[in-house]
Structure 1
Amino acid sequence: MLSIHHCNFSDPDAVSALSNQTQAVVEVAAVGRKENRSITTRTNPAAAGLSLTLGVLSNIVALFILAKAYNRLRRRSKATFLLFASSLVATDLAGHIIPGAVVLRLYSNGVSQNQPSHADATCQFLGGSMVFFGLCPLFLGCAMATERCLGVTQPLLHARLISSTRTKIALVLIWLAALAVALLPVIRLGEYTYQYPWTWCFIRVLGGTADTDVAFMLLFSALGLASLALSLVCNTVSGITLVLARLRKRKCHLRTAKSHDIEMVVQLLGIMISSCICWIPLLIFGLMSIINCHNRSAEDDERYRTLMVMGVRLASYNQILDPWVYILLRRAVLRKIYQLTTGRTNMRVSTLRRWEIGSLQSSEKNTVKRI
């Protein structure tokens, strides 16, 4: 029940106290109105729908290009790279559709202004999907960089070790490893919770973080950063090896064989740059959020909450940028750009002779013509 207090308004102290209470109420109301406007602004479903549509279309186009190239080059050394790349784009496509559909469903149900009291089945599924589809591209990019580094530096060993069957086994193991990490909350190692503005779920890093949540976030960030670091090392070694091979002025047929490697390494560099820009902020913000997690103020929690939202939005752009690496960084596209910028049409006398003139099947056509 409410107790009624009688105030003596002739007392200056009472008047001052009442004034302070009134001012506090006004400030709280203003903050509430500001927060409501902030939630409305940050949770516009049109932006999420546009991002989902653009990502789906981009990945479908890239998947079509890669599948067509893989069918033509099934028996060549590039087939392994194309199989990895096609799997990466397919994973990005699924990672855009599945979590995106759940997020749009949460939008359609209305955005709550308060954090939900518990993580339901939808939150558990969405959190697991974000961890799984977050680690898979990083693992696949690392595997592609390692495979290309072996192919460039040790071609004979690569030909002996790498096969289509082993590549498919490696893909299955990568997906299983990411799935195992995503399912850790099932065995009580970490927990998925709704994240501000309560339209997505991820590892609990704020609000009563337990030691298992800290370990889960450390594992996720460490795996992601390690994958990016290994990709950087392998791509650097591959690039230096190819540059040195060009400088030694090898024979023409050896240069032609290296043109595939150059194209693949350029695409890998594009993937690595895209992944670093999009994923490093979220991985770093996740590590920052668990530092001194038991001795944080409310202002610190608010700052980390904002950083996490920015990080996950930036990470979602990686699934849009990856397919454009394959769409744009192809020899056919680069050849057209070269023609437009230099005005040359006779490609046989240009420096792009090294890039194996023609489309991916041009070498086979040239062989038939010579015969």
Structure 2
Amino acid sequence: MNASALPLANNTPLCYVYNSPPFNYSHPIASARYSSIFVILGLSSNLIAFIVLVKSFQRTQNRSRSFFLIFLGGLVVTDFMGLLVTGSVVISFHVTHFNWRTVDPNCHLCNFMGMSMVFYGLCPLLLGATMAVERFIGINCPFARSNMTKSRAISMMLMVWFSAGGIAFLPLTGIGSYHIQKPGSWCFFNISPEGKDMAFSLIFALAGLICIAVSFLLNMISVVTLIKVCCGQDRGQRRRDHEVEMMVQLILIMVIASICWCPILIFIAQTVLSGAHLRVGKLLLWLRFASVNQTLDPWVYILFRRAVLKKMFPRLNWSRGSIMTLYPSFRDTMRRFTSSSIGSSTLASSETGETGKLNVMPPSTPKPQPPSP
């Protein structure tokens, strides 16, 4: 079906071509109560996290940590605005049951909500990948980040928002199209295996999956490097508790994003590539699953901070020099693991040098006996 020809034939606005309200559709999670509770919980969580982040940013004196907090603050603001913008439309529909054709005859509101869904959906994934790049450079190439300033970190975050906005704007240029979706409470791009709708569906799905893959790869490299530093021979001279804390938070953000977003991204790609009929129930389910990410993200920083963990687990010996020393068995295991991968050559050369020293040592001379009387 050619979507571009239909509006000319029957004067139907583009966003109502495939689905025209009102709908006779019901789903257990498509209700005003569920949407209201979900949005209020998400907004409260992000607001608490933002207040905590502002206080932490004012107290921190570590340069790398301040950069991390800027990106984390951008993530919290994005999640908050995403819930506020999209939640307002969804809740308003469930409360008033307004007719889209009457309220929005020219599809302006539908296009705005569709752009918001794409923008606020891609931003957390793009920010997660950007944070992974920043941590990768900070841990593996610290000298390359010597020129990094707070203004540049803010500029990078603005570039992420601009990139996500550019992708969200594509359907308004003809690459894809935004349509009202069942049960009539939201708008999203048309997931179709035809023409430009297929192109935009793949752009959205691949962009999200690539961000997750980049985050996973760079975070794993950073974790391995950090373990080598914390468990190596010089761990006493190179304590990096703040680095460990940031990597734990970043890994949790990546895991949550992967669990929440991979199902809907794979579902979209699989639907358009296979040419199968769109299953509305599964789309709504995976969308709700993805939206949970905006509520869980702030709790990563609220809960997984050293100050909070001290209160939650007061019996642990938090006075030691490194977080890694809190887990002696894990430390020793990783120490043996890293020594076999990166330390074997160093240890071998060290042992060879010590052996050579022993071989060239002059023979010990016997202690002279005292003269007999």
Q: TM-score higher than 0.5 here?
A: yes
Segments of 4+ moved more than 6 angstroms: 116-119
The equivalent residue for 1:227 is 211
The equivalent residue for 2:285 is 310
CA displacement 1:224-244 (0-9 Å, x = unmatched): 000000000111011111111
Deviation at 1:337, TM superposition (A): 3.0
Alignment of structure 1 residues 75-94 onto 2, 5 Å: 76-94=63-81
The equivalent residue for 2:199 is 215
CA, structure 1 residues 119+284, in 2 after alignment: closer, same or farther (shift >3 Å)? farther
Partner of 2:267, secondary structure, is helix
The equivalent residue for 1:237 is 221
Deviation at 1:352, TM superposition (A): 4.6
Partner of 1:179, secondary structure, is helix
Match of 1:330 among 305, 312, 315: 305
Partner of 2:68, secondary structure, is helix
Alignment of structure 1 residues 52-63 onto 2, 5 Å: 52-63=39-50
Q: Contact (CA 8 Å) 1:126, 1:201: kept in 2 or not?
A: yes
Q: Contact (CA 8 Å) 2:231, 2:324: kept in 1 or not?
A: no
Structure 2 unaligned blocks of 5 or more: 1-22, 327-373
CA displacement 1:70-126 (0-9 Å, x = unmatched): 1122562211000000111011100110111011122233288x9x99872221111
Q: Within the alignment, does 1:71 sit opposite 2:58 as a pair?
A: yes
Q: Contact (CA 8 Å) 2:209, 2:265: kept in 1 or not?
A: yes
Q: Within the alignment, does 1:49 sit opposite 2:33 as a pair?
A: no
Match of 1:261 among 227, 235, 243: 243
Partner of 2:97, secondary structure, is coil
- Give the Cα separation in 2 of the matches to 1:95 and 1:65: 20
Q: Contact (CA 8 Å) 1:56, 1:96: kept in 2 or not?
A: yes
Alignment of structure 1 residues 104-183 onto 2, 5 Å: 104-110=91-97, 120-158=107-145, 160-183=146-169
CA, structure 1 residues 45+119, in 2 after alignment: closer, same or farther (shift >3 Å)? farther
Q: Contact (CA 8 Å) 2:68, 2:131: kept in 1 or not?
A: yes
Q: Contact (CA 8 Å) 1:126, 1:200: kept in 2 or not?
A: yes
CA, structure 1 residues 290+333, in 2 after alignment: closer, same or farther (shift >3 Å)? same
Q: Within the alignment, does 1:95 sit opposite 2:77 as a pair?
A: no
- Give the Cα separation in 2 of the matches to 1:40 and 1:292: 26
- Give the Cα separation in 2 of the matches to 1:169 and 1:353: 34
Partner of 1:39, secondary structure, is coil
Q: Contact (CA 8 Å) 1:88, 1:140: kept in 2 or not?
A: yes
Deviation at 1:251, TM superposition (A): 4.9
CA, structure 1 residues 40+338, in 2 after alignment: closer, same or farther (shift >3 Å)? closer
- Give the Cα separation in 2 of the matches to 1:351 and 1:152: 16
Partner of 2:180, secondary structure, is strand
Q: Contact (CA 8 Å) 1:190, 1:212: kept in 2 or not?
A: yes
Partner of 2:179, secondary structure, is strand
Partner of 2:313, secondary structure, is helix
- Give the Cα separation in 2 of the matches to 1:73 and 1:217: 42
Q: Contact (CA 8 Å) 1:335, 1:352: kept in 2 or not?
A: no
- Give the Cα separation in 1 of the matches to 2:26 and 2:56: 45
Structure 1 unaligned blocks of 5 or more: 1-34, 356-371
The amino acid across from 2:251 in the alignment is L
The equivalent residue for 1:192 is 178
TM-score, length of structure 2 as denominator length: 0.76
Q: Name which of structure 1's ranges 195-204 and 319-328 shifts more when overlaid on structure 2.
A: 195-204
CA, structure 1 residues 352+244, in 2 after alignment: closer, same or farther (shift >3 Å)? closer
Partner of 1:222, secondary structure, is helix
Alignment of structure 1 residues 269-348 onto 2, 5 Å: 269-293=251-275, 296=276, 300-301=277-278, 304-339=279-314, 343-344=315-316, 347-348=318-319
TM-score, length of structure 1 as denominator length: 0.76
CA, structure 1 residues 250+337, in 2 after alignment: closer, same or farther (shift >3 Å)? farther
CA displacement 1:328-354 (0-9 Å, x = unmatched): 110112223332xxx35x643697586
The amino acid across from 2:280 in the alignment is R
The equivalent residue for 1:249 is 233
Q: Contact (CA 8 Å) 2:122, 2:208: kept in 1 or not?
A: yes
The amino acid across from 1:84 in the alignment is F
